[in-house]
Structure 1
Amino acid sequence: MSLSFFHRHWAAWREETRVFSDPDSASAELRARHLAGITRLTPVLMVANLFNALGLLVAVRASVSATAWLLWLGLLLLMVGLALRGWLRHRRQPVLRASPRAIRHATLHALLLACVWTVPVVGWLGSLTPIQQLMVAVTTTGMMAAGGFALSSVPQAGLAWTLALGTGAVLGVVRLGGTVAWVLAGMLLGYVLVIAVAVRSAARQSALRLRSEREAERQSQMVGLLLRDFEEHSADVLWEVDRQGRFTHVSAKLSALFGDNLDMSALGLFEVLAARSPGGAEAEGLRKLRQALNADKPFRDVLLTVEVGGVPRWWSITAKPLVEDSGRTVGWRGVISDVTQQRLAHQRLTYQAYFDSLTGLANRDQLRNRLVQVIDACANTPRRCALLCLDLDNFKAINDSLGHSVGDGVLKLVAQRLQSVMRRADLVARLGGDEFAVLLDDVRSDDEVDQLARRLLQVLNAPGEIQGRSVMVGASMGVALIPDHGQSIDDVMGNADLALYAAKEAGRGRFETFATWLGERSRRLVTIEAELRQALARGELSLHWQPKVDIATWQMRGVEALLRWNHPELGAISPGEFVPVAEKSGLIGDMGAWVLKEACRVARDQLPDLLVSVNVSPLQLMREDFLADVEAAFAETGLSPSRIEMEITESVFMDDAATALRNLHALKRLGVQIALDDFGTGYSAFQYLRRFPFDTLKIDRAFVRELLTHHDARAIVRTIVALANTLGMRTVAEGVEEPAQLEVLRQAGCSEIQGFLAARPLPLERLLALMSNWNEDNRPEPGAMPETQTVSLDMLTPMPDSSRIVR
């Protein structure tokens, strides 16, 4: 019974390992896959060997002679090096087939490496302390189990490793002597047998898995071949011709494909195709088909353009030669597939890839491709071109007020107008949104470009009618000359954009040609943005303070906190330059929060009797966390909100008046005072003065500057003061520089002034010094004024006190 059991298992083992010795190709592929399972694990296994060796040496080095452990370590390093060298070689050149010799080499390496690991347990175990013996025992049994399972994809190697290391462990234990040693040896033998059986089982599973994978790949290849063959023979119509090109069989389907009015039995393939080809026998598709047939090789997808029933269609022809046993081609057999729908779909995709679907103009991709050609042509010949970038000035307002359908109509109208003016060689493109571009090819002079730009603006700025509505379009334009203003696509388009921005800043409805200083300004703005991100952290920002003085008593009533930036390399940078950059880059929130906290801190500690004004950007006011920043500043500094006045400009109501009013009312509920800055210069609307109770109206310096020269400026100032008095608001005149201006404002009834006449913006130390030396008796005298101005001043009678509303 037992002999039969072992015989049966031995036969099964021989059958399972036959693949490792058979010379056939299939076995060679499977051997390579088995070896790959070990190869992938080689680096991990070798690192584990080194790690265990180092740990073992640290534990037993004191009890083993240096010569012994150095010799053992050298042998181990040699075996590890050989394994890693083989791994590197196979990693660079993957093995697809492996011989039985490769299996034997892997088995031999596993056996030798196991023998090296038997040295500590056989040679050293008797001379070690109990704890060191435990270290050797644990390491040996762990290596035996782990190595056996790791090498199980090549069962010979796994068993060689397990049996060699197990035999060494048994011998080492037996050498210790005693009953316990023999018991341990017996247990180790049982353990080795269990590992050997497990290795064999794992090897069987690995072999089954690899065979399944190989069979799946073989089937996949077969399916691929069948699918390709099916694809070659599944076209719409089969055809077959002899060596001379005459049809050997004409099916009803083939006849219907070409049309019933052709006698295909009397004609050859080329005659029939030429009769249906718009280009006749010399058509490009027929020429390629003739070349393919003359080559006597199979071919695929030769495309022909034909007409059937007066309708253009596209056919794809695929064929193989019919060959005799002698190798001579006696004819052709193939298929004709109608690919009209695919061709039309391809044309639609191509159109969408290079044309704008709304206007029919070229799109950005086509413009860039054309620019490449133009730039290359200008580089090789004395030729000049120009790129004009256009942007509609009031398109957003049209979209918002009249709807997107009218906006689309405007875009189509602009496209038509641009095409009506351009030459045939020029390219008109829509870049997206309300952005357009015109590429002028081969211009003779800068004057020609300027004249065409003016003509374009004249045409575009004319009113148009969209869906029964009269619409004013308007556009701004930037011009870049090629190659003067760039020799790459990005340079040319970027410089045209810079010129466009300059045109918008100069007032819109005009064009600007790129100049070097625009590029320098752009680079400076990029530098400012990059440096501004670090300015707060580096402590480069500071506040200067400009007093507000009561006109009647000449006492200092408040100060305005003005942000300043002194860069270590760029020097002092104007707020008019870096604040727009901060708004555009999203830094205005952090900057505004810092300004508010710093102003609150200074107001609390060093300006206890003054109202401190802080400017708030429209973008800052619209931020969701703006109110949280304000509340945090008051909570952190402990300052009463009534000590802070926030100045806003009229433009804050343009984009989102509802949000602006909501945030301003929230500030008002906190106790913050609100001033409307630059009143009367931009978007003033009396409805906002009714809907929000401002505390202060600040008269813009533009009116103050003309008080002594223009009577209408004096009338406007008087009106603003009267309006503020009626609504119970204070008035502050900005930019007061002359005593005569002060006198005009006093007679008009203005409350306070702010300007160089009182004091320039000062650092905090100088402001404190000015406050300590401030004397109300130093009020400047009006000075001599022209008689015509004096007469006008007599008419500036302030509103009676009874007309003021005290809130």
Structure 2
Amino acid sequence: MRRARFAVSDGEGIQERASVNDALTFDLRAPDTADDEALARQRIAMFELAPALLGATHLVWGLACVFLHPVVASESLASNPLLPVSIVLILDALAFAALWFRDRLGLSTSAVTRGLCAYIGASGALWLAYGLALESSHHVTSTGFVALGFGAGLGAATIVSISSPPIAVINALVALVGAAAVSTGPELMAGIGFLAIINIAYSVAGARAVLTNARARLRLEAQARKALHFVDEFENSGRGWFWETNNLGTLSYVSQQLADDFKVRPEELLGRQFTDLLSVDVGSTDSLREERTLGFHLSARFPFSDVIVRAASDEDIHWSLSGNPIFDERGRFLGFRGIGTDLTEQRRSEQEISRLARFDSLTGLPNRALMRQTLDEALRNATNRRKGCTLFLIDLDRFKNVNDTLGHPVGDALLRQVADRLKLVMGDHGQIGRLGGDEFKAVLPGTVETGLLESLARTLIEQVSRPYMIEGHRVVIGASVGIAIGDPGRSSADSLIRDADLALYAAKAAGRGKHCFYEPSMHSEATDRQVLENDLRQALDRNELWVAYQPIVRAAGEEISGFEALVRWNHPLRGPISPDKFISLAEECGMIGKIGEFVLRTAVAEAARWPDTVRIAVNLSPIQFNDPHIVDTVAAVLSDYGLNAARLELEITEGVFLADSDMTDSTFARLKSLGVRLALDDFGTGYSSLGYLKKAPFDKIKIDQSFVRGAASTTKRNGAIIRAIVTLADSLGMDTTAEGVETHDDLWLIRELGVSQVQGYIFGKPMKGPEAREKANSSRVEAEGYQCIREPRHRLMRRAIAAVNGVTTEIRLRNISAMGALVECDQNVAPGMTMTIDIVGVGPVVGTVRWAQSGKFGVQFTENFDLGRLAAKQARANDVTMLQPWYVSQPTKAAS
């Protein structure tokens, strides 16, 4: 049999005709694809009435047999010929019901086909049994009647099975078996066999054709559905729509979108002239000439593309149309078919983009580009009018804190309110705009009077600094203003912006809420800063940077706990440069990472030579801490110099928490996994340190020196603050270090308040490595320095007797005050011990040991001691110089 081929446009190329095996097995196997499933359901639908046809045949022939040959009542049920008829009719009814309710029963197509095969075979067998029963009965004596009945059933079954090769095969087998049962003649067997083969061959050929054509049709339908789906998606997406006209120019198809633009149903537009709905956008300066308008293309039957048209409606709707003429195979014109794209939103977007390109989307103020254009125009106008122009650069103070604490939505609302106040203050004097973030600019053309400018600047700062109420939060910020006045004909926009920026930098350096006019000296200062920055970039290579070490001492025993590494810069021309000056410069110019690693390596290398009990503290700037490689750097340095990680203490300020919290938490965890200690530096100077203590795994809190210096003064509250910090640290299991301790008074108070460690000039200034190494090996330091702002003290030594550890011991008291004294003793005592001290010639006093070290300890009296009880004696020179306030009388020095 010739194998036909046909082409289908499904991307799979030429498909072959269904094979014989496919035709024989298609109805019996489970479908492989959705198309085969649909085809199988269609083929099963052809057999819905097949049981009815067979049942009608069986019923008619059975009734004929009953009427022609009545059943004898004396016959038994087993020999009753009506029994097969009843059974086969019941089988017909069951088959009909199974086919009719196959979906409800959940029968698959293959199961239905197998059931049909079984049904054909069973009904044929029963019908044959019926014929044999008639033949064996006393009523039928001729086999012709039986053959005729069997032939009728076989004929009906053949009609049913002709569409399905498997059923045709079953029917052929039933026919052969029936022929063999009815007649033994070879002629009948040969004839039946030949007809069966012809029937099977015909059924296979028909099935192959049906399968081939059906599959092709299903593929084409799938392609049509896909194309329709694409059309629907394209139309529903809003990106375009389709239209079609007939040869008269009237619409024969329109998309829903086109009808929606006219607020009608698509059917109402059909039959209308397409050109009546549209008009060419002739308002455009680059509109096409008359012969190239849409009317020309339609009348000339000429293809067109992207023709801009406006809808003939009250709304401003624009489309871009493309179309092609349609001709049949004889060249007759059938109409136009094309697509349209809605340009309305695009035009609005272009207008919005144009607006956004010139105005700030948050505040509605002119943005940086428009303000630059305004400044250029103001300077040109100033040149023509011979009148100057002034530029304000405005920067908000503490705005970042608002974003960090209350969130960016509150920050955005705050910026909008600030913009409203700035517009109100500026009024008709000039144009205010937003540069971005918390930076604003104001251009004041023709205004150069210093008094007016100062008044505007003060008013601007005052108005911006007034409290704001945003979402129930009371927000207070400030503003700094830099002012630059441009000379007509000589100032350029770039130079004026640079001058105003320098003035703003000076205003912020002078403190918050200030305004400053540009002065030529600012330029020299900026130049000097740039030179210093260039020198700093070369300082490492020139070995101008070095590391100093300041001791950190245990408050109780005055043993050295560790040293803090501090970077120093000896400039070859300028000499020593303060870290306050070059550290901030290093952070701005990106050098802090290299300098920080240099300090870390140098300090760790030096600490490796110290005793194992002495730690080294190194500062990490927020920029270093937020470096993704900082943990690897620390680990590499510790490994290179073999320093125990527990001896390295990294001091971190609150600035690290302004970065991403997830990254910050990860860095903290990785550093702790190395085993290093973490200290929160400058505690108390930020705005949410308690939150940081809860968040980060710190081992130590360093109390800022602003709370420590002068803490012993009765006029300050620093002592209460320090006490609260110590209590908090103890509760969290953290050590405390007091920075900036310089006097004995402050040292005494620090000890009284329970601070763990002390750092300050009283125990030593920052020193070079060899000197620090020597002190680290000695492990002890003496407190040296002034004793200022303190109560009057008896400076001479007094002898006393005390019971120390159960042993009566002679001790010596120095620096006796109303609250306590310094005691020299050969016995070792422990802080917290209470003892009674009998001062020779004075009497007993009770006190508690607050600190102790070998050979001396400090005692605090339980009750205030009256210095008048001490006998007046000539004082001898004290080895400790005292600075006392003006209200304390200075005792007369005399040789002892």
Q: TM (normalized to structure 1)? A: 0.51
**Distance of aligned partners of 1:426 and 1:801 in 2 relative to their CA distance in 1, 3 Å threshold:** farther
Query: What pairs with 1:782-793 in structure 2 (closer than 5 Å)?
Result: 785-787=790-792
In structure 2, distance between residues paired with 1:719 and 1:360: 48
Tell me which protein shows more helix as a share of its residues. Answer: 1
Q: 1:741 aligns with which of 742, 746, 757?
A: 746
Q: What is the 5 A alignment of 1:122-521?
A: 351-376=355-380, 378=382, 383-393=387-397, 395-396=399-400, 407-424=411-428, 426-443=430-447, 445-464=449-468, 472=475, 474-483=477-486, 487-521=491-525
Matches within 5 A, 1:529-544: 529-544=533-548
Contact 2:434 2:441 in 1 (8 A): yes
Residues 346-380 of structure 1: per-residue CA shift (max 9 Å, x gap): 97776555444554433323322332343355567
Tell me how far 1:416 sits from its aligned partner.
3.2
Q: What is the letter of the counterpart of residue 714 of structure 1?
A: G
The 3 A distance-change label for structure 1 pair 497 and 776 is closer
* Deviation by residue 1:485-538 (Cα, 9 ceiling, x = unmatched): 992212221222233344445554443333445434433333333333332233
Quickly say closer, same or farther: Cα 1:674–1:492, change in 2 above 3 A.
same
The one-letter code matched in structure 2 to 1:760 is K
1:605 aligns with 2:609: yes
CA RMSD of aligned residues (A): 4.7
Deviations 1:451-474 (A, max 9, x none): 1112223333344566x6566374
Residue in structure 2 matching 1:764, options 765, 769, 780: 769
Counterpart for residue 118 of structure 2: none
Instruction: State the partner residue of 1:36.
Output: none
Cα distance in 2 for partners of 1:588, 1:390 equals: 28
Per-residue deviation, residues 191-221 of structure 1 (Å, max 9, x unmatched):
xxxxxxxxxxxxxxxxxxxxxxxxxxxxxxx
Partner residue in 1 for 2:719: 714
CA offsets, 1:36-72, max 9 Å, x none? xxxxxxxxxxxxxxxxxxxxxxxxxxxxxxxxxxxxx
Deviation at 1:543, TM superposition (A): 0.4
- What letter corresponds to residue 426 of structure 1 in structure 2? G
* Unpaired stretches in structure 2, ≥5 consecutive residues: 1-274, 284-311, 318-342, 794-814, 822-829, 835-849, 851-896
SS in 2 for 1:569: coil
- Other-structure match for 2:168: none
Deviations 1:602-659 (A, max 9, x none): 1113566521111111221121101000000011111111221111223333444554
Distance 1:344 1:618, change over 3 A: closer
After TM superposition, the structure 1 = structure 2 runs for residues 593-632 of structure 1, keeping only pairs within 5 Å, are 593-605=597-609, 610-632=614-636
The CA deviation at 1:756 is: 1.6
Taking a change above 3 Å as real, the CA distance of residues 361 and 779 of structure 1, as seen in their structure-2 partners, is closer
Normalising by structure 2, report the TM-score. Answer: 0.47
Following the alignment from structure 2 to structure 1, what is the Cα–Cα distance between the partners of residues 725 and 568?
30
Letter in 2 for 1:479: G
Percentage of identical aligned residues: 37
Does residue 686 of structure 2 align to residue 652 of structure 1? no
Deviation at 1:765, TM superposition (A): 3.3
Cα 1:469–1:779 shift into 2, 3 Å: closer
Q: 1:473 to 1:497 in 2, by over 3 A?
A: farther
Query: What is the one-letter code of the residue matched to 2:680?
Result: L
Output one character per residue of 1:517-576: Cα deviation in whole Å (capped at 9) or x when no partner. 543443333333333333223322210111122333333332111011223234322221
Partner secondary structure for residue 711 of structure 2: coil
- 1:580 and 2:584 matched: yes
Query: Structure 1 residues 574 and 449, CA, compared in 2 at 3 Å: closer, same or farther?
Result: same
Q: CA deviation at 1:446?
A: 1.3
**Partner residue, 2:760:** 755
Q: Is 2:387–2:487's contact at 8 Å kept on the other side of the alignment?
A: no
CA change 1:791–1:442 in 2 (3 A) is farther
Return the alpha-carbon distance in structure 1 between the equivalents of residues 345 and 672 of structure 2. Answer: 67
Q: 1:523 aligns with which of 478, 503, 527?
A: 527
CA distance in 1, matches of 2:367, 2:789: 67
**Compared CA separation, residues 590 and 777, structure 1 to 2 (3 A):** closer
State the Cα deviation string for residues 92-123 of structure 1 (Å, max 9, x = none).
xxxxxxxxxxxxxxxxxxxxxxxxxxxxxxxx
Residues in 1 aligned to 2:437 and 2:511: alpha-carbon distance in whole angstroms: 21
- Worse-matched range after superposition: 371-380 or 676-685: 371-380
Paired position in structure 1 for 2:685: 681
Q: Distance in 2 between matches of 1:688 and 1:309?
A: 64
The letter for the 1-side match of 2:693 is L
Tell me, yes or no, if the aligned pair for 2:403 and 2:411 is still in contact at 8 Å.
Answer: yes
State the match for 2:80 in structure 1.
Answer: none
Q: Please state whether the residue corresponding to 1:760 is helix, strand or coil.
A: coil
How far, CA to CA, are the matches of 2:700 and 2:630 in structure 1? Answer: 21
Q: 1:426-476 CA deviation, whole Å, 9 max, x = no partner?
A: 22222233322111222252121111112223333344566x656637442
| Residues 1:542 and 1:462: Cα distance change in structure 2 (over 3 Å) | same
CA–CA separation in structure 2 for the residues paired with 1:801 and 1:670: 39
Q: Distance in 2 between matches of 1:345 and 1:729?
A: 59
Structure 1 residues 765 and 380: CA distance shift in structure 2, 3 A: farther
Q: CA deviation at 1:580?
A: 1.9
Distance in 2 of aligned mates of 1:457 and 1:745:
42
| Preserved CA contact (<8 Å) 1:642 1:671 | yes
Q: Could you say if the C-alpha distance between residues 520 and 661 of structure 1 is closer, same or farther in structure 2, counting changes exceeding 3 Å?
A: farther
SS in 1 for 2:557: coil
**Which of 534, 552, 556 is the aligned partner of 1:548?**
552
- 1:571 & 1:504 partners in 2: Cα distance? 27
1:698 correspondence with 2:702? yes
Bigger strand fraction: 2
Separation in 2 of the partners of 1:561 and 1:688? 24
Which residue identity is paired with 1:457? I
- The answer (yes or no) to whether the contact 2:618–2:651 under 8 Å persists in 1 is yes
Amino acid in the other structure paired with 2:758: I
More displaced, 404-413 or 726-735? Answer: 404-413
Change (3 A) 1:449 1:706: same
Q: After superposition, give the CA deviation of every residue in 1:742-762 in whole Å (9 maximum; x if it has no partner).
A: 222233333332222221111
Q: Is the 8 A contact 1:476 1:500 kept in 2?
A: no
Larger radius of gyration: 2
Shift of 1:478: 2.1
CA distance 1:615–1:484, shift in 2 (3 Å): farther
- Do the aligned partners of residues 483 and 603 (structure 1) sit closer, same or farther apart at CA in structure 2, a change above 3 Å counting? same
Q: Secondary structure at the match of 1:605?
A: coil
Inter-partner Cα distance in structure 1 for 2:685 and 2:447: 43
**Rounded Cα–Cα distance in structure 2 between residues aligned with 1:782 and 1:357:** 61
Q: Tell me how far apart the structure 2 counterparts of residues 345 and 733 of structure 1 sit (CA, whole Å).
A: 61
Count of matched residue positions in the alignment of Structure 1 and Structure 2: 481
Q: In structure 2, what is the Cα distance between the partners aligned to 1:397 and 1:592?
A: 27
